[in-house]
Amino acid sequence: MTDNINKNKSTLLKKEKRLALILLLPTILIVLSVVIFPLLANFWISFKPVTLGDLRPPKLILNERIKANISGNSQLIEVHYRYRNSSIKYDLKNVIIKDKIPSSFKIKNIQPSRFCKIVLKELICDLNKVSSKSSGKIILTLQKNDQWQKNLDNLKKTKPLVSFTSKNVLTSFDFSTENFKKVFSAAEFFEVLKVSFYYTIFGTAGALLVGLFAAQILQKSFMGRSLVRGLLLFPYVSPVIAVAFAWVILFDPFSGIINSMLVQMNVIEKPINFFGQKYADVIIFGYVFKFPLALSMVITFEIWRYFPLSFLFILARMQSFPEEVYDAAKIDGASPFQQFYYISLPFLIGIMSILFLLRFIWTFNKFDDIFLLTGGNAGTRTFTVNVYEQAFAISNLGAGAAVAVVIFIFLLSFSLLFMKYSKRETF
């Protein structure tokens, strides 16, 4: 009896699993189509010399023009076929042009005759190969008859047919590593790598620390706390294009309020181009250091804009911790710093680790903030800006895809290592 019950349970579990898989199948397919397919397409393009022009496959452009009453001879009609290869890189092969000729017309001449012939009142021109950027013309001379006007209308309505074969670099199986060689051998590769790490690490750490600081302050109850919490979300919920241009206007060297205030307060002698100056000389203990000004300003914007996200998560975590623990620590004589270090920090390390991983990935992939503030100039060119410049500024989609693949591999490796060595504490 027990065996039958267990057997029925096992059968029921299998049916439930099968039903759950069927119900989840549409979601899985949607996720695969939205995530996996673009990723595979990016890998595919990264191994091909693809430019923006290659997105439009090569084709033969053919224009037909009919001329009557040519050279003073009212009995002849010329049909001009002008053709052109639309591609500047690839040849067209097996090119054949066909056009129906009304039976009442008498064919007088075909130029060039070596390519063209008439078969059963049909013009057939076998051009074989049309090289890239090349063009040509076929002239068919016909003699009028009594019904030439009607037949001429039929000739105009009949469109010539074109067939050819061409190489499509996107769908071909020709692969190369030239894009990756170009990326790694570029003179600015290590400079871009350094800037990307500098921007990502300091932007991520700064957003976490400021969010932690804000959460510590706003955890305590005081009048107007809800209003202050709402105001702190302003940088994160505001449109990036609006706040980015607001920062650019505020720090403008000619009409910005910040420069004007600093000059009037005698902090600086002349206005500073905060987002257009790569380095600024900073004197510390009598030594002059090159300070990356524009990059530091972009990092400051990153911290200001995204610390509210860390603030929300950390505050929610802190409010779930029982107040009795802090009360007991106060009775035992623990200072505020000791309470934070020995009680709050161990409790928050899990959520902060997850936030660090997410913010690291998002910041490393960040493009719009940098592009709106500096356009990638003045030492702020990161990998994402490099992807845009390669793919669209110089129309090299293959090189841009190769940079994107490098970013993906790096972030995937970082994420796996991070989860491996922080598994016991956070996951």
| CATH architecture for residues 58-166 | Sandwich (2.60)
- pLDDT for 295 equals 93
Domain extents in the chain:
2-54, 58-166, 187-395
- pLDDT for 2 equals 58
Compute mean pLDDT per 10 residues along the chain, 427 residues long, and list them.
Answer: 61 78 82 80 87 80 77 70 87 89 78 83 87 88 70 73 85 84 84 92 94 88 84 90 93 90 88 89 78 92 94 89 82 83 86 91 92 91 89 84 90 88 54
Asked whether the beta carbons of 271 and 259 are under 8 A apart, the reply is yes
Which CATH fold would you assign to the domain 187-395?
A: MetI-like fold (1.10.3720)
- pLDDT for 340 equals 83
Contacts of residues 223-229 at CB distance under 8 Å and 24 or more positions apart, as own/partner, are: 229/315
